[in-house]
Amino acid sequence: MLIMKKSKDVNKSIVSIVKYEKPLESVRKVVELSKLFESITKDTKVFIKPNIVYWNQHTNFPKWGVITTSRVIEDTIILLKEQGINDIMIGEGFRIGETKDNDLALDAFEKLGFNLLKKKYNIKFINTFTRPFKKIDIGCDFEVDFSSDALAADVVIDIPVLKTHAQAVSSLGFKNLLGLTHNESRKKIHSADPIKDLHFNLAHLPNKLKKVLTIIDGIYTLERGPAIDGKAHRKDILVASTDMLSADMVGTKLLGIEPSEVPLLVQAAKDRHRPMDLSDITIVGENLEELASHHEWDFIYNDAGDLPLPFQRIGVKGLKYQKYDASLCTHCSGINGVLLTFIKNAWKGEPFDNIEVLNGKIMEPTPGMNKTVLLGKCQYDKNKDHPDINVMIPIKGCPPSMEDVRKAFSQIGIEINPMIFKNMDKGAGFLMRKYKGKPEFEEKFFQIN
């Protein structure tokens, strides 16, 4: 049901919610209702930031709810061109693979149709890792290496996906800007500081950008995101606002989560002296409550927080695998998921040898364990000399190599066939099975004609 709410307070932020129904028309509606482009002139330098959180060159994989649709990106470009804007750049920094290797980005840009966008609309697209970064102070305890191209733009159009995140709770406009920072800064943003932690740092990401406009792509949404192993839903929702915090608050509500439960939004609201109850936001378009649906975000562990609940349910003994925290950076997070899969598959009913696995920058060993696995450089540097470690099994590296993982697992009695690692990229294709026979999950949204 389409509604219009009139505000008596002209200073209220406007957030528009629109049901996606037709190419271009739906994005046009969400842009017009939010007055998103009213301040943009034909001389404006625009930087579009999609969310391409993952890419695989070797096999098809679930993109729904993970990657910004090419459909929404193209429609946004068309609307900008209608206003006479010619200086348009799309930029993303790919976290998978070597940052100096541009092949992955080029493959993604080609298959998502960005080359066609370049020909049709004379736009530019870049892998930010091949471009200069500038050290800036955004209020963290360290200077952040931020994309110079984004900083130079008059406007950044932030186009995240409507999804949850296992650490940040919701992953929308603020979180999407993390892709404009260099890898080394991303690792630091996952800080061990109890105050200036991940949430604090994410809330400060837009501080030096000139202007940020937000369009949230909710054609598909994602539970237990942000990666391809999450559960996607077809929701056909678009959200837009000239105020990123307002857009993220409304987007979070659409995910069935209260903004007050998202630490980065609480921090961002505190910094801006904003309430958390949406009382200073005018919502136009569709009814928020009618479209909101609950999305799970957390991976559940046992009451002690030292074993994933699925492990406890199948009776795993002799293992402590402490729950991840916000200090676990993206690189080790991906490896962490692989480790859990290997351990679960290795469980044959016999107790493990009193083993503990630690990750991130905060965890400390439990006394009395026979073997302690330290995942990643941060864990190794923190606990390599810890007196409560009996036998240390380090998986060094930043991030660790798969060969290091294989050797470490051999020391805890789990032998891994090296061929598994060589075929891991192809394994992503198996996740397509859960969407088989569901016609609402269409590849066409990630293609340009």
| Distance, CA of 299 to CA of 305 (rounded, Å) | 11
Residue 418's pLDDT is: 77
| Residue 33: half-sphere exposure toward Cβ, Cα within 13 Å | 25
Q: Are strands 13-19 and 46-49 parallel, antiparallel or unpaired?
A: unpaired
pLDDT given at position 260:
98
Choose among 294, 257, 290, 289: nearest CA to 276: 257
Per-residue tens of pLDDT for the chain, all 449 residues: 444 444 445 689 999 999 999 999 999 999 999 999 999 999 999 999 999 999 998 899 999 999 999 999 999 999 999 999 999 999 999 755 444 568 889 999 999 999 999 999 999 999 999 999 999 999 999 999 999 999 999 999 999 999 999 999 999 999 999 999 999 999 999 999 999 999 999 999 999 999 999 999 999 999 999 999 999 999 999 999 999 999 999 999 999 999 999 999 999 999 999 999 999 999 999 999 999 999 999 999 999 999 999 999 999 999 999 999 999 998 899 899 889 989 998 999 999 999 999 999 999 999 999 999 999 999 999 999 999 999 999 999 998 988 899 999 999 998 887 777 777 778 889 999 999 999 999 999 999 99
Element (H, E) at 406: helix 402-411
Contacts of 436 (CB under 8 A, 6+ apart): none
> What's the pLDDT score for residue 426?
81
How confident is the model at residue 334, as a pLDDT?
Answer: 87
Please, what's the b/e burial string for 298-313 (b: 16 or more CB within 10 A of its CB; e: otherwise)? eeebeeeebbbeebbe
Residue 406, strand partner residues: none
What confidence score (pLDDT) does residue 187 get?
Answer: 95
**Half-sphere exposure for 238 (CA within 13 Å, toward CB):** 30
Of the CA atoms within 13 Å of residue 236, those in its CB half-sphere come to: 10
Of 328, 393, 330, 399, the C-alpha closest to 360 is 328
Domains of the chain and CATH, by start? 2-297 (3.40.50.11440), 309-429 (no CATH)
323 DSSP assignment: P
235-260 per-position pLDDT tens digit: 999 999 999 999 999 999 999 999 99
- Distance, CA of 248 to CA of 292 (rounded, Å): 14
Q: What is the pLDDT of residue 15?
A: 98
Q: Are 99 and 183 in contact (CB under 8 A)?
A: yes
Residue 101: per-residue pLDDT:
65
Q: Rounded to two decimals, what is the model's pTM?
A: 0.95
Whether 297 and 223 have beta carbons less than 8 Å apart is answered as: yes
Whether the CB-CB separation of 283 and 268 falls below 8 Å is answered with: no
Amino acid 424: pLDDT? 74
Identify the CA nearest to 256 among candidates 215, 291, 298: 291
The token pair at 309 is 């609940």
Buried b (16+ CB within 10 A) or exposed e, 22-35: ebeebbbbbbbbbe
Q: Which residues contact 197 (CB under 8 A, 6 or more apart)?
A: 191, 263, 326, 327
- The pLDDT of residue 94 is 75
